[in-house]
Amino acid sequence: MKLIAAVLAAMAFTGALVATQKEVPKDPVIVAYQDLIAKDLRLATIGYLLAKGSADFCRNKWRNLGWVLHDERQYPDLGLARRAFTFRQPISIAALVADGPAEQAGLAAGDGLFGADGSVVWYDLRPAKSGPSSERIDGLREEFVTRLSEGRPIAFQIDTANGRRDVALDPPTICASDFWVDVRPKRDAGADGVRVRVTSGLMEYVSDDDELAAVVAHEMAHNLLDHRPLIEVTKSGKTKVIKATEAEADRLSVWLMANAGYDPEAAITFWERYGKATGLGIFSAPTHYRWQSRVAMLRAEMDQMALLPTVEGRRDPPLLAAHRAKQ
């Protein structure tokens, strides 16, 4: 009996193999386009969850629709882009953060942005005359930045599988930060005061979402604590200030992770592995403190965090409390 079962299992396996081999291989360009959107969504989701998890404690707040938009014009090969994705309008929803405001409003990937406030079309709907460009979608993002800062419902029209409809999204305010994937093999990340940038190379290097959350939380912490203006106004002792802001970003990162349901231990495993491989942290600047002291500080911060009780599973990070008190 056992032998027959084994033979049957082997036959089933062979059958599966043959079926796989019969599949038409996807165009590598389509695979690359879809992989980029998958990365965008992964980063957007982690960023959204981190921002939402500590929403009650941030002074720097923002609204986030929980979607990834894309423009068919940003792809070098328009024909392949249209095979890779559904575009109901030239600028469409590429992906949605699970349970985010846009998904909760019933929007779906492929739905196309048409116009705003009933009549105004936000962007030029005509097809591109020249090569790929991100100009149009960058303009639309700016438009959304303005609308998201206004604190009132954002009304627009969208083309769905069931026709055109009016939508009004009114997302709650959560911790500030916007996220984008920088397509480069270099393992790098950064924060400019508003946005968080993570390279595709670093996204492929991290072993799981918890480790990626460690990187994103560190960069987000720089934005939430207004580190950039602090560094910009510093004339002397810049190295010292940068080192202090790096330490603060590390310390806050584990609180943000825990509040979002990520395992803060991943910050230790990531920086240890990354530190051993590179000898330095994310920034290769000489100001960067060595990874051993970085890991020791993260450990001390987590020990302190464990002593505090949670309220509905969350803790108020001392660095955010101090930042709120500054006003």
The whole-angstrom separation of Cα 223 and Cα 229 is 10
Quick one: which of 249, 268, 298, 305 contacts Zn ion (CB under 5 A)? 249
Select 41 or 256, whichever has its Cβ closest to Zn ion: 256
CB of 241 to Zn ion, least distance (A): 12
Quickly count: other Cβ atoms within 10 Å of residue 146's Cβ. Answer: 9
Provide φ and ψ at 70, rounded to 5°. Answer: -145, 160
Q: Closest approach of Cβ 327 to Zn ion, in Å?
A: 24
User: Which residues within the stretch 110-139 sit at the binding site for Zn ion (CB under 5 A)?
Assistant: none
Nearest-angstrom CA–CA distance, 96 and 103: 6
**With CB under 5 A, what is the number of residues at the site for Zn ion?**
2
Look at residues 307, 216, 214, 198 and name the one whose alpha carbon lies nearest to residue 269: 214
Report, in Å, the least distance between residue 36 CB and Zn ion. 25
- In the complex with Zn ion, which residue's Cβ is closer, 249 or 295? 249
Segment interacting with Zn ion, rule: CB under 5 A, options 76-84, 137-145, 196-204, 239-247: 239-247
Residue 249 or 305 having the CB closest to Zn ion: 249
Segment contacting Zn ion by CB under 5 A, of 7-15, 89-97, 201-209, 244-252: 244-252
Q: Alpha carbon of 238 to those of 38, 189, 243, 251, 286: distances in Å?
A: 38, 20, 9, 20, 12
AA identity, residue 82: R
Instruction: Report in angstroms how near the CB of residue 68 gets to Zn ion at its nearest.
Output: 25
Residue 216 in contact with Zn ion, rule: CB under 5 A = no
Query: Residue 72 or residue 246: which is nearer to Zn ion going by CB?
Result: 246
Indicate the residue among 211 and 246 with the shorter CB distance to Zn ion.
Answer: 246
How many whole angstroms separate alpha carbon 142 and alpha carbon 178?
12
Query: Looking at this protein, which amino acid is placed at residue 99?
Result: D
Q: Return the residue nearest Zn ion (CB atom).
A: 249
Eight-state DSSP code of residue 26: P
Residue number, 174 or 249, with CB nearest to Zn ion:
249
Q: Which is nearer to Zn ion, 117 or 192 (CB)?
A: 192
Give the binding range for Zn ion (CB under 5 A) out of 162-170, 236-244, 247-255, 307-315: 247-255
Answer positive or negative: Cα dihedral of 115, 176, 275, 231.
positive
The DSSP code for 183 is -
Segment near Zn ion (CB under 5 A); pick from 177-185, 202-210, 249-257, 302-310: 249-257
In the complex, the smallest distance separating the C-beta of residue 194 from Zn ion, rounded to whole angstroms, is 15
Place of tokens 């800062």: 149
Q: Closest separation between CB of residue 315 and Zn ion, Å?
A: 22
Closest CA to 166 of 119, 99, 224, 213: 119
DSSP 207-238: SSHHHHHHHHHHHHHHHHTTHHHHHHH--S-H
Smallest distance from Zn ion to CB 136, Å: 32
Using CB under 5 A, list all residues that contact Zn ion. 246, 249
